[in-house]
Amino acid sequence: MTKRRDILRIAIAQLDPTVGDIAGNLERARQARAEAARAQADLVLFTELFIAGYPPEDLVLKPAFVADCMAAVEALGADTADGGPGVVIGSPFRDASGLYNSAALLDEGAIRAWRHKVDLPNYSEFDEKRVFRPGPMPGPVNFRGVRLGIPVCEDVWGEHGVCETLAESGAEILLVPNGSPYYRDKMDVRYQIVVRQVIESGLPIVYANQLGGQDELVFDGGSFIINADHSLAVQMDQFEAGVFTATFRRGDKGWACERGPLARLPDAEEADWRACVTGLRDYVDKNGFADVVLGLSGGIDSAVCAAIAVDALGEERVRCVMMPYKFTAKSSLTDAEACARALGVRYEVVPIFQPVEGFMQALAPLFAGTNSGITEENLQSRARGTILMAISNKFGSMVVTTGNKSEMSVGYATLYGDMNGGFNPIKDLYKMRVYRLAEWRNRHRPSDCRGPGGEVIPHNIIAKAPSAELRENQTDQDTLPPYPVLDDILECLVENEMSVEKIVERGHDRATVERVEHMLYVAEYKRRQSAPGVKITRKNFGRDRRYPITNRYRDR
């Protein structure tokens, strides 16, 4: 008979796996298990599909990949023969019945059990139904005399009753491996979801969440434990890796976690900034780029992107290039240089007069008899894009592109020009949000950011009217509504899918709303060709919003 135990120490491994790096993820798991052993943990809980990295997308359709993941789990299981902590770890699993998103319990030198995800998400950034098969309703697993339920991520978020079923079948503690990506105010949503499941199951829940960037997604960690009395027992940091060992004790009313550290959670501005930093850092590092290059125009967007890049990578890995033309204001040259100096980055000036005039001369016979306009303006942007891509090709630097969500929404960007680049850290930030973050960063410097403190974005860049500077005395508001108006209309259309009528009822001019809606739809072809960027809102362009390019619908 298994001896009854009244103390169980569970370590949460909040780490940053890399998709496809099976050997590296296995080594990360081994190091975390060793750290947990030093803290006298009995069990280590890793996050969803940790061995594969999350989300692996169609990688799991390769039989060799799944076989390698399962072999790595077996190897980690063999490690547990040393008498140290057991392990719960996520991995894809395949048998004769199909392919599953699963978690394995490892102990005593072997895999003791597999549990398969029941509720496969198929919304927003998730598309698991096309690759995984839903698992059967799970029962608890026995770990050293304690019955543990292992619902996997969406099994807690969904409506399938997985947690309640586990409680009814004898589970005493619920361990939840998660791959829950960041969007603004996501922690509040997670608390609500988990508290609801605690109420329905009557059990404490250990919520372990992944950390780090994976393409457009950022996983912010923020793992926590909520007891059966609905109290928050442990809160780990957001955006910081760590292994924390919590102590559970069995009492008259079941298991409860002793109160541990309750980390301070960042406010919305800090969380958005750190998400952008994390997303850029991991994209650059995980894809093997030594450094980055971006055009520094003297405007707000490029200044914020430069600051994010320095915070992510350090000043020595960021190169900024000012590319003036005859419409570039002297103040823009001054502001760009001041920004580069404040950030400590390498800064160069490459005038584009000659390449632009060369294009003009080459096209003169074709353009004879036409008026100068947007085509000629876009040649400036494309010359700059070509120069940045040449630097990228020559030196291996990744180009950071700098368009904000407002511009991307209405097509206020030039294909093969300012849209050139490998990654865009502010792609999901509306223009007014970019301004707020600039002001916030000048007052704050998070501890995990590598840039300097103080004013890193000169005040004049924040204060002046935004302009693409493609013609004399141009401002964005010549062709766009004021950004506070534009951003509100766009948020209604994109995030909330509101009708034109409902947006007009908010106080907006109908003609303006209809024009913005039209601009949003006709710019879809540009967004399909844009660089990936960090997801910050509930609905980003890319995974979350998949509108057709050919689309005649207008809401009238």
Q: Catalytic site residues?
A: 48, 117, 153
Please name every residue paired with 87 in a beta bridge, in sequence order, or none if there are none: 44, 106
- Nearest of 44, 35, 14, 460 to residue 261 by alpha carbon: 14
Question: Taking the CA of residue 294 as centre, how many other CA atoms within 13 Å lie in the half-sphere pointing to its CB?
Answer: 32
Report DSSP letters for 244-311, one per residue.
EEEEEEEETTEEEEPP--BPPPP-HHHHHHHHHHHHHHHHHHHTT-S-EEEE--SSHHHHHHHHHHHH
Q: 300-313 and 330-343 helices cross at what angle (nearest 10)? A: 10
Tokens 């306009």 belong to residue: 373
Q: Around Cβ 421, how many Cβ atoms within 10 Å?
A: 25
Q: Around Cβ 327, how many Cβ atoms within 10 Å?
A: 16
Q: Are 469 and 380 in contact (CB under 8 A)?
A: no
Spatial distance between the Cα atoms of 309 and 317, rounded to a whole number of angstroms: 8
Q: What is the DSSP letter of 233?
A: E
Report DSSP letters for 474-536, one per residue.
--GGGTS--HHHHHHHHHHHHTS---HHHHHHTT--HHHHHHHHHHHHHTHHHHTTSPPB---
Q: Are 466 and 431 in contact (CB under 8 A)?
A: yes
Terminal CA-CA length for the chain: 72
Q: Around Cβ 221, how many Cβ atoms within 10 Å?
A: 27
Q: Are 86 and 111 in contact (CB under 8 A)?
A: no
**What are 416's two structure tokens?**
């093969």
Q: Which amino acid is at 348?
A: E
Spatial distance between the Cα atoms of 220 and 516, rounded to a whole number of angstroms: 33
Please give the backbone phi and psi of residue 203, each rounded to the nearest 5 degrees, phi first. -120, 150
- Nearest of 215, 183, 184 to residue 287 by alpha carbon: 215
Q: How far is CA 382 from the centre of its chain?
A: 29
**What are 320's two structure tokens?**
């900024």
